Structure 1
């Protein structure tokens, strides 16, 4: 029960330095009253692993809830608390009000029941408890308010994977609104840390393909695949067939489970249809509605639920107010909807090799291509930020309409500084990203045309640089033009930090 002196992150916890820093700052904040934190994130992100490591370092109390009745859940909580405090007899709380009051009392000075310093308490999978005891958030709110007067150094972390439930704990009129001092979302690893985690950082081509399939979810490597990692790029196809596409692999049905686990999702068929529409390239609200045979107004709820569940993201068009597109944020779900679901019966019958051989074009167009574009935007937000030579603005994607040519120019990577007061918005970067195409001068000319069109619309393009991102390489003509006029060329080696972007930027 005694709190350990050191709070250094254990070496077994990969990455997560910023999350660890936020958690330890929360625990060690020298305030005499109780504090509340909410930790959320989709399943398989390593939340429990991270919080258990924190509890071990702090000597705190950890309780992992399970699905059960209210009576059983209270009994399990009481038994775990009795064991933690070293009570010779089991606790028999009559209700959750008594249990929560006792818990906060453990951290009261002079109680003799808890440590002298802050006491960390983690209640994991909290949505299981609120499902059978919906009054719990109100009870915690009332007790926290009480211990703003009566001293208690409790540091309570509520954790859960049901994103819609956890997000609702602190929303609008929710009881705990305004009570939390920490709100932490544990997200997947970015594409660079994920490559290090899978030990494939020295092969950018493999790392990019792997990330397009399984993303940055840490549990997939160790818990799901028992460290089955592709031996190299030449092994990737076999790896896909023996893992994700194999009916005997835990990853085979994982995309379905991810959707079914969200508390607010009832009609999974409708939600799969929405996701399939996006995976097939129907990324606008109207396009999604048309694909599934519904009216646009009828799909507002499933779109909102998928956004709240962090499975779908609405990306505003950076050039056109009121326009937006949807993107699936979980790579495994996108891979499932684009590659697996259309051939599900064949995959269940063991035809993984045949299905995968026939999916090359679909994988490139619907999975790897859009994922590569998102990686390029992540690069500009992070490692490539220093290349811009100016303050980082808003990074996004959008469409520039060319009325003369009667076409639309898709900009995959754009940076805009909105300015202040009467300043015009400044476009500082326009970029195009191609997964399977060797980029040439035509791509550069399209970007230059988009820059001229934006200048004609009143945007400041005097410092606007052009960038080409390609996983397949660049033509010699484009390389020569890039050196001559100053265009940024970024390939996979540069994205993964194994090379320096060539060409440079010139407005």
Structure 2
């Protein structure tokens, strides 16, 4: 039976159903689940709500030594069980067994939030939990507890169940709480205008807390208010959003040399998306970047995206829009932002960088996401299986062409036929010239004998609009697909 979802919870239907099913597990014995996600995505609200709905126990860990954490756990357990006072624990073996003993007749959730804090003080804690959940152990077999370990340190949480980690194979749930996509973010912020919604998402992404806690429900009233909103929120030293991008790196324990990682992110935000370009920007050798790029990827701060046409070519993208905004717009003028009252002047000087370095690339990524997950299947002739970006060689002219959106399907023989190629423009009205460019690229793909290239559709994605002659051509020729901002925010498949 699905637990009743709190009325004030926005979205998170998938996550709530997964947690409800975990708690509804009828099998005997304690179970283990892992919940992860970047800070401020609503994990704590989600898990506290679960404990309230199912009568469970919630323990918020703090940074501190073992003894302090055990004392706090004992005090909260004493209150939860109705004991006359705090419960004293000699160590974590005893404490974990006490948690498993909280229920023997019905499944209840027992949540340890910010689990990485406890492991930082006692690295043996995962092994202690592994042993507590060992098969044929009475404390485990007689328990009906669903133990949920939660954390925001993505690199740590990613390793918790991987490789030879002690808890590998023990968990019956591994749930990641993501940021809201562009459509859900617009609904959550209450922004109806697609232009305003996309620009807002390019700055703060889909992190729920940025609206309610950080911006105090201050939202841009429309396109004409967007600049003023940026100035009074993200660029204001008095706003929590002002330093948030810096704090996101500090949240990750694996990022020891913050200046190195900030430089890598700055390089990517400046348009240096390939490993060699990043190395050149930083004045480093390409081989020196293997470790920092891997660490940033493990932390969920960057995403490695392969070129869909070239197996040996990879680009890197910053996963958190606010981090991109910080490095592309704020970091170059940081000292001025901290010590001037004329923030409007600084924003006017920086707005071109925002459009080219933040808004344009973000719009491309949203278009690819929408194509893969939200576009109606008839738009491209089949369900998109992959939507990425790629580079097409033009041997005759000794050049290459960047393709913003490349759409592949999946046929019955597990092959990936090409469904469409597309171009994305944020601030440019698209016309027949853009379609002709796509036709030339398609001809190159036909010459390369790419499966499905002959019938691949030509997609134009615009944040500004389409010239009348292109609209007329699209009405006559089904191979031309036009996608505007309204389409990206129209309800459809998810």
- TM-score w.r.t. structure 1 length? 0.93
- Residue 98 of structure 1 is matched in structure 2 by 94
**Is the Cα–Cα contact under 8 Å of residues 392 and 415 in structure 1 kept in the other structure?**
yes
Determine the C-alpha separation between the residues in 2 that align with 1:432 and 1:54: 44
**Is the Cα–Cα contact under 8 Å of residues 424 and 459 in structure 1 kept in the other structure?**
no
SS at match of 1:396: strand
- Residue 349 of structure 2 is matched in structure 1 by 358
1:375-430 deviation digits (Å, cap 9, x = unpaired):
10111122214222313321211111112222221111111236575x76410111
- Residue 502 of structure 1 is matched in structure 2 by none
**Is the Cα–Cα contact under 8 Å of residues 2 and 24 in structure 2 kept in the other structure?**
no
Gaps of 5+ in 1: 109-115, 500-507
- Displacement after TM superposition at 1:153 (Å): 1.4
- Residue 124 of structure 1 is matched in structure 2 by 113
The one of 273, 276, 285 equivalent to 2:266 is 276
- Residue 198 of structure 2 is matched in structure 1 by 208
SS at match of 2:253: coil
After superposition, residues 20-169 of structure 1 pair within 5 angstroms as: 20-108=16-104, 116-146=105-135, 150-169=141-160
Closer, same or farther in 2 for the Cα pair 1:18/1:6, shift >3 Å?
A: closer
**Is the Cα–Cα contact under 8 Å of residues 110 and 148 in structure 2 kept in the other structure?**
yes
Runs of 4+ in 1 over 6 A off after TM superposition: none
Determine the C-alpha separation between the residues in 2 that align with 1:406 and 1:259: 42
Determine the C-alpha separation between the residues in 1 that align with 2:273 and 2:357: 12
Instruction: Indicate yes or no: 2:227 matched with 1:237.
Output: yes
Instruction: Indicate yes or no: 2:455 matched with 1:459.
Output: no
- Residue 505 of structure 1 is matched in structure 2 by none
- Residue 296 of structure 2 is matched in structure 1 by 306
- TM-score w.r.t. structure 2 length? 0.95
Gaps of 5+ in 2: none
Determine the C-alpha separation between the residues in 1 that align with 2:376 and 2:455: 15
**Is the Cα–Cα contact under 8 Å of residues 33 and 148 in structure 1 kept in the other structure?**
no
**Is the Cα–Cα contact under 8 Å of residues 34 and 148 in structure 1 kept in the other structure?**
no
Aligned CA RMSD, in angstroms, stands at 1.6
The answer to which of 127-136 and 483-492 deviates more is 483-492
**Is the Cα–Cα contact under 8 Å of residues 424 and 458 in structure 1 kept in the other structure?**
no
SS at match of 1:384: coil
The answer to which of 285-294 and 460-469 deviates more is 460-469
- Displacement after TM superposition at 1:477 (Å): 2.2
After superposition, residues 357-396 of structure 1 pair within 5 angstroms as: 357-386=348-377, 387-396=379-388
- Displacement after TM superposition at 1:146 (Å): 4.0
Determine the C-alpha separation between the residues in 2 that align with 1:148 and 1:415: 51
Closer, same or farther in 2 for the Cα pair 1:498/1:86, shift >3 Å?
A: closer
Instruction: Indicate yes or no: 2:464 matched with 1:475.
Output: no
Determine the C-alpha separation between the residues in 2 that align with 1:225 and 1:360: 20
Determine the C-alpha separation between the residues in 2 that align with 1:195 and 1:121: 33
Determine the C-alpha separation between the residues in 2 that align with 1:357 and 1:374: 25
Instruction: Indicate yes or no: 2:390 matched with 1:398.
Output: yes
After superposition, residues 478-489 of structure 1 pair within 5 angstroms as: 478-486=470-478, 487-489=480-482
Determine the C-alpha separation between the residues in 1 that align with 2:58 and 2:296: 30
- Displacement after TM superposition at 1:147 (Å): 5.7
- Displacement after TM superposition at 1:352 (Å): 1.6
